[in-house]
């Protein structure tokens, strides 16, 4: 394992969190702490979501990689393990998005999160049913758009984040968006401890969303060999690549990714067509359904058909690593923060630690201010 900087002592877990940690999203989502576990495909399953919810955060189920019956079953499983609020991630451009929204409303799911902005009529329908709408964005203009359309809050991911990501770092993007919209802003990209939570609050956010940090917990269902690859990665162990679907994605740097980047466009397209066929067989999805989703992706994300075919690669490659444990043949989406993580706490231990650290930092700042006033 690579050497990591020592974590500063945060002191004992406080009997109650610092008052500053009770932010607008705590009331909005019905959670104790302003900490969100993001909906990572093939990672954020019922066990991780329920564990996060029980620990006082908002767990978000990765619904986009489940078919409709499996999504319903996953919601039922979460409910067996927690009575606390949770969210479900939905692809706004999915061919069966309307049925998925019906399911969320019927199941009284508290939060619907979106990687792509849902249309105003979809936001209105969810809000009328009491479901909180939380899109994820990577630019101020996108945050302004969904805020004007009626979103309840927005997750803002800076360039340090994993998966599809932009070039602007969180430290610049987060305050820019917080100044531009009047709905709660949740910072994502580079957060893993209580110091980061306090920093996000200082930038104007109402909380933080974390993916990689929750992936690296004992409640994660990712295989031990894949978890080891994450833990062994340094701060230089990730790469932003366009080789998967033509859109920048941050993943762990591996020999497989290096080979994929060296491959020509024609070879990548052949691989993508094969992956699309495997994905169709695995999920039972018809070619007609895949083509309908492809047309939606072209329309909503302004992709070429070549990029749509490349996008067919991603679910199968993510699944190979996250479900099958094939770190050698799969893709491991990750934030740069993986280079600062060296342990696998439970969700309860992680959230308690973050709250303790944040409270200690806030108390220290308050004491320093008081000393300066003497």
In a domain, 186, yes or no: yes
Give the pLDDT of residue 317: 78
Share of the chain above pLDDT 70, in %: 81
Give the pLDDT of residue 207: 98
Whether 158 and 246 share a structural domain? no
In a domain, 13, yes or no: no
Share of the chain above pLDDT 90, in %: 69
pLDDT (average), residues 134-159 = 97
Whether 165 and 41 share a structural domain? yes
Question: Do residues 162 and 190 lie in contact, with contact meaning Cβ atoms separated by under 8 Å?
Answer: no
Number of domains in the chain: 2
pLDDT (average), residues 279-297 = 56
pLDDT (average), residues 49-75 = 97
In a domain, 328, yes or no: no
In a domain, 48, yes or no: yes
Give the pLDDT of residue 310: 57
Give the pLDDT of residue 10: 40
Per residue in 104-127, pLDDT tens? 999 999 999 999 889 999 999 999
In a domain, 4, yes or no: no
Q: Helix or strand or coil: residue 112?
A: strand
Q: Facing residues of 154 across strands?
A: 185
Whether 167 and 107 share a structural domain? yes
pLDDT (average), residues 192-201 = 98
Whether 296 and 177 share a structural domain? no
Q: Sorting pLDDT into bands at 50, 70 and 90, what band is 273?
A: low
In a domain, 35, yes or no: yes
Give the pLDDT of residue 9: 39
d(C-alpha 166, C-alpha 275), whole Å: 26
pLDDT (average), residues 246-263 = 86
Give the pLDDT of residue 5: 37
Give the least confident one: 22-31, 313-322, 340-349.
Answer: 313-322
Contacts of 306 (CB under 8 A, 6+ apart): 246, 265, 269
Asked whether the predicted pLDDT for residue 145 surpasses 60, the reply is yes
What's 246-303 look like in SS3? Answer: CCCEEEECCHHHHHHHHCCHHHHHHHHHHHHHHHHHHHCCCHHHHHHHHHHHHHHHCC
pLDDT (average), residues 316-342 = 89
Asked whether the predicted pLDDT for residue 14 surpasses 60, the reply is no
Q: HSE, CB side, 13 Å, CA atoms: give it for residue 322.
A: 24
Give the pLDDT of residue 307: 58
pLDDT (average), residues 32-57 = 97
pLDDT (average), residues 164-178 = 96
pLDDT (average), residues 307-319 = 67
Give the pLDDT of residue 284: 52
Asked whether the predicted pLDDT for residue 7 surpasses 60, the reply is no
- Whichever domain contains 361, its CATH number is 3.20.20.70
* Higher-confidence position of 244 and 286: 244
Whether 214 and 253 share a structural domain? no
Asked whether the predicted pLDDT for residue 268 surpasses 90, the reply is no
pTM over 0.75: yes
In a domain, 193, yes or no: yes
Asked whether the predicted pLDDT for residue 2 surpasses 90, the reply is no
Round the average pLDDT of the chain to a whole number and report it. 87
Closest C-alpha to 313, from 244, 242, 243, 240? 244
Domain hosting residue 160, numbered range:
19-222+340-367
């Amino acid at each position: 394992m690579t050497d990591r900087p020592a974590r500063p002592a945060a002191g004992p877990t406080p009997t109650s969190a610092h008052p500053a940690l009770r932010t607008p999203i705590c009331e909005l989502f019905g959670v104790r702490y302003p900490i969100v576990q993001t909906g990572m495909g093939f990672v954020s399953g019922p066990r991780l979501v329920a564990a996060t919810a029980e620990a006082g955060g908002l767990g978000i189920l990765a619904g986009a990689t489940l078919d409709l019956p499996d999504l319903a079953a996953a919601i039922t499983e979460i409910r067996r393990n927690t009575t606390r609020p949770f969210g479900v991630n939905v692809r706004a451009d999915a061919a069966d998005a309307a049925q998925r929204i019906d399911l969320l409303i019927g199941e009284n799911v508290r939060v619907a999160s979106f990687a792509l902005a849902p249309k105003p009529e979809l936001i209105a329908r969810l809000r009328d049913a009491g479901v909180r709408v939380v899109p994820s964005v990577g630019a101020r203009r996108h945050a302004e758009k969904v805020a004007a359309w009626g979103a309840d809050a927005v997750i803002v991911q800076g360039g340090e984040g994993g998966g599809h990501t932009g070039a602007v770092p969180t430290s610049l993007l987060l305050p820019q968006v917080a100044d531009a919209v009047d709905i709660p802003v949740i910072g994502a990209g580079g957060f893993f401890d209580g110091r980061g939570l306090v920093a996000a609050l200082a930038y104007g956010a109402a909380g933080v969303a974390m993916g990689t940090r929750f992936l690296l917990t004992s409640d994660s269902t990712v295989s031990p060999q894949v978890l080891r690859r994450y833990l062994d990665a340094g701060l230089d162990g990730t790469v932003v690549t366009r080789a998967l679907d033509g859109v920048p994605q941050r993943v762990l740097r591996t020999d497989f990714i290096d080979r994929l980047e060296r491959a020509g466009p024609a070879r990548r397209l052949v691989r993508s067509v094969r992956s699309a066929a495997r994905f169709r067989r695995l999920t039972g999805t018809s070619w007609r359904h895949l083509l309908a989703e492809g047309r939606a992706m072209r329309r909503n994300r302004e992709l070429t058909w070549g990029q749509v075919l490349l996008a067919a690669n991603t679910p199968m490659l993510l699944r190979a690593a996250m479900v099958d444990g094939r770190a050698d043949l799969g893709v491991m989406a990750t934030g740069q923060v993986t280079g600062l993580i060296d342990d696998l706490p439970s969700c309860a231990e992680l959230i308690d630690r973050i709250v303790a650290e944040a409270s200690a930092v806030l108390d220290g700042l308050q004491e320093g201010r008081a000393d300066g006033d003497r």
